Structure 1
Amino acid sequence: EPVLRIYCSAQAHSSVDKAVRIAGIGIKNLVKIKTRSDFSMDPEELSAAIEKDLKAGFKPCCVVATLGTTGVTAIDPLREIGEICHRHGVWLHVDAALAGTALILPEYRWMIEGREYIDSFVFNPHKWMFTNFDCSAYFVKDASALIRTFEILPEYLKTRTRGQVNDYRDWGVPLGRRFRALKLWCVIRMYGREGLIKMVRNHIEIARRLAEMISQEPDFEIVAPVTLNTVCFRYIPRNANSEETDKINEKLNHALNDSGKMYLTHTKVNGRYTLRMVTAQTNVTMEHVANSWNLIKETARNISPR
């Protein structure tokens, strides 16, 4: 039997690594594809990796494209990736856990151009659609592929409605499931389509304005394109080398979070410690973010480099 291979961007979420282990495919058969300058998956690198694996006798199985990577919210080029998958008969899964919410905005529908190539798609309303944890929406082109894998029918699960309704126990690992859809329905009912669009659009605008403020300061830098609601930046003190700058930014992160006035997360971009501000909390305002930015500047400039 040929060995299966899975492909994803070097920026993809760690859940992909975990999934290949759980599935028995093995972490050594997960191929991390290099990214372009904007941190999105490089389709040319993907095509070359698949061609190389085919020549080596491997079986390309699935590509995981990401809309809104966890670290820097990069957007993988869906159409180009989809065309490669279609050419080789490879399953295309799209992880839109964060950015899927932005697809309610007409001006962000470009992210899903090439949707006809998608085999499965997931996004998390609990990330940016104001729904309490946990709530994920999963779409699949061919449900029978799931059913053939997960279906099992002991006598005590047989019903007269078999074949007349969707038995979602046959669509995944769990036998039972909570009524997660009710939470999402309540959110949509409360805000309405236009209300959700207004809030998401405002979050993106706040991130854009924050990026402008950061760019105006000579001792701060933006380290990744601001595509949605996440701004990745670093404090660059004078006369500090890269390692010292990393340590200072880590100290800054902890000092801000320990203040109890705000909370930042971090990542590493090109190996460098990077701060992340996410402007996606349900009721966040520009005033909140402006106050936080003032605190960041004040705290950073009072941190000792040693």
Structure 2
Amino acid sequence: MNWDDFAHWGRHIADWGAAYHKTLRDRPVRAQTAPGEIAAQLPAAPPEGPEPMDAVMADFEAMVLPGMTHWQHPRFFAYFPANAAPPSMLAEQLVNTVASQCMLWQTSPAATEVEGVMVDWLRQALDLPSNYTGVIQDSASSATLSAVLTMRERATGYTGNREGLSSKGRLRIYCSEEVHSSIDRACWVAGIGQDNLVKLPTTGPRFAMDPAALDAAIATDIRAGHTPAGLIAITGGTGVGASDDLGPILAIAKRHDLYTHLDAAWAGAAMICPEFHATFWQGVAGYDSIVFNPHKWLGAQFDCSVQFLTDPQPQLNTLKIEPEYLKTTGEAVTNYSEWTIPLGRRFRALKIWFLIRSYGLDGLRSRIRNHVTWAEELCAALRDDGFEITSDPILSLFSFRCPGNDDDQQRLVDALNDDGRIYLTQGSFQGRKVIRFQVGQFDCTRDDVMVARDVITEIWKTIR
């Protein structure tokens, strides 16, 4: 392909993309294909010679597109959103075209410096204190793993990387029973082990970690000769939106000199709205590490996760490795590859810059506020229709059950997703299967949300 062909197909794909998004409501949300169906259509061996781009594009539409679940569909109510606002897509086109590897300041000075400013813009938007700095990671899983590794190294006097963990005793990390599975995986990868992730019970309407249980668990571990290493709190857990009471558990962690990490991957975006601070953000100042994903609710195209740090040095002490070929000379600069596990880095900050400038914080706040309001409205309607609300809305997430047993919940979820008009997922809460519903797709409307009521009641009547 020459550059004239590139320009032609670039225009074609941009036009195709606009038409795709304009017609998403006409498509089933979840892919309606059987396992193996897409692979069976693809040639078993690669071509020996070149093929024309129009043939490649035609096969994409005929073979690939039917097997795609449409995450940008306005009636995508499953999981959490992975939004891609149009300005962030355009920014990604520029990033892909320039195709820089932004591991060091000198390999792309603009990428490094824009990242620093964008992290600070978001710090201000979330009303975090001015001492926070940070880095853009690929996902909250990577940010959490970075924090857990830092907990490990800090608790071992920064000797674990060099000496291993065989003689370090049992390092203990504390969290609630509502944390995301990425917390478990981080403990696996860090060598701390599942058995040393202490999951504590939750209390109250927001299913917050019990501070008394935390304090007792730490005291028990100290008496047993274990080493408390860190605390992981949550704001907006994946299951039902569980949110810890941040101040009291932070005070306990600080009293025991634990490194603290807050997982606000989904709900952190809503903290650009000041009215949610009293309920969900009180006491946030002082957490050593905080992560939230602009690629979820805020509209930045995946992947884009911001990790804020009160002091980056512990994480640098944990992750920084500097062979000769990565050393920089001259003035002191920031090399963000030293803050993260991967060495290679994409220019993720550009899409945040485009996004915030295109909508302004007020425009982004309006969307989030609408989603919260519409979720509350739908929840009330389903309750009126006879469905059991198993967890009331926490921001824009709630869960419910249809009449019947756990098998009936799965039967309803499967029937809804096979129908294609909306997309939901099941979950488990307090020992029972529930159906999760979250509102967060960037371009959804109130009508998109409320049509879910009609679809849920209609499908339930046909299968009960």
Give the TM-score category using the shorter length.
over 0.9
**1:273 aligns to 2:433 (yes or no):** yes
Provide the C-alpha distance between the structure 1 equivalents of 2:227 and 2:295, rounded to a whole number of angstroms.
35
Larger relative contact order (C-alpha < 8 A, sep ≥ 6)?
2
When normalised by structure 2's length, the TM-score is: 0.62
Find the counterpart in structure 2 of residue 158 from structure 1. 327
Find the counterpart in structure 2 of residue 4 from structure 1. 171
Aligned-residue CA RMSD (Å): 1.2
SS in 2 for 1:275: strand
Alpha-carbon deviation of 1:156?
1.1
Provide the C-alpha distance between the structure 2 equivalents of 1:143 and 1:117, rounded to a whole number of angstroms.
13
Structure 2 counterpart of 1:54, one-letter code? I
Structure 2 residue aligned with 1:138, among 289, 303, 307? 307
Structure 2 counterpart of 1:17, one-letter code? D
| Paired-residue identity, % | 43
Find the counterpart in structure 2 of residue 66 from structure 1. 234
Provide the C-alpha distance between the structure 2 equivalents of 1:61 and 1:143, rounded to a whole number of angstroms.
17
Deviation track 1:151-180 (CA, whole Å, cap 9, x = no partner) reads: 222111122246x21111111211121111
Q: Unaligned 5+ residue runs, structure 2? A: 1-167
Structure 1 residue aligned with 2:317, among 142, 145, 148? 148
**Rg (Cα) greater in structure:** 2
**1:227 aligns to 2:394 (yes or no):** yes
Find the counterpart in structure 1 of residue 183 from structure 2. 16
Structure 1 counterpart of 2:239, one-letter code? G
Find the counterpart in structure 2 of residue 92 from structure 1. 260
Provide the C-alpha distance between the structure 1 equivalents of 2:398 and 2:445, rounded to a whole number of angstroms.
15
Provide the C-alpha distance between the structure 1 equivalents of 2:454 and 2:247, rounded to a whole number of angstroms.
41
**1:258 aligns to 2:427 (yes or no):** no
Provide the C-alpha distance between the structure 1 equivalents of 2:392 and 2:219, rounded to a whole number of angstroms.
30
Write the mapping of 1:90-239 to structure 2, written as runs, cut at 5 A: 90-110=258-278, 111-161=280-330, 164-218=332-386, 220-236=387-403
Alpha-carbon deviation of 1:217?
2.0
Judge conservation of contact 2:379–2:392 (CA < 8 Å) in 1.
Answer: no
When normalised by structure 1's length, the TM-score is: 0.93
Provide the C-alpha distance between the structure 1 equivalents of 2:298 and 2:246, rounded to a whole number of angstroms.
22
Structure 1 counterpart of 2:412, one-letter code? L
Provide the C-alpha distance between the structure 2 equivalents of 1:232 and 1:115, rounded to a whole number of angstroms.
26
- Larger mean CA deviation between 96-105 and 35-44 belongs to 35-44
- Larger mean CA deviation between 63-72 and 167-176 belongs to 167-176
SS in 2 for 1:302: helix
Deviation track 1:36-55 (CA, whole Å, cap 9, x = no partner) reads: 14322111111111111111
Structure 2 counterpart of 1:131, one-letter code? A
Provide the C-alpha distance between the structure 1 equivalents of 2:256 and 2:447, rounded to a whole number of angstroms.
50
Alpha-carbon deviation of 1:292?
1.3
Provide the C-alpha distance between the structure 1 equivalents of 2:296 and 2:269, rounded to a whole number of angstroms.
8
Structure 1 counterpart of 2:210, one-letter code? D
Judge conservation of contact 1:83–1:117 (CA < 8 Å) in 2.
Answer: no
Alpha-carbon deviation of 1:227?
1.3
Count of equivalent residues: 295
Cα distance change on mapping 1:161 and 1:179 into 2, 3 Å: farther
Moved runs in structure 1, 4+ residues, more than 3 A? none
SS in 2 for 1:182: helix
Structure 1 counterpart of 2:246, one-letter code? L
**1:25 aligns to 2:170 (yes or no):** no
SS in 2 for 1:116: coil
Provide the C-alpha distance between the structure 1 equivalents of 2:392 and 2:197, rounded to a whole number of angstroms.
26
Provide the C-alpha distance between the structure 1 equivalents of 2:262 and 2:320, rounded to a whole number of angstroms.
24
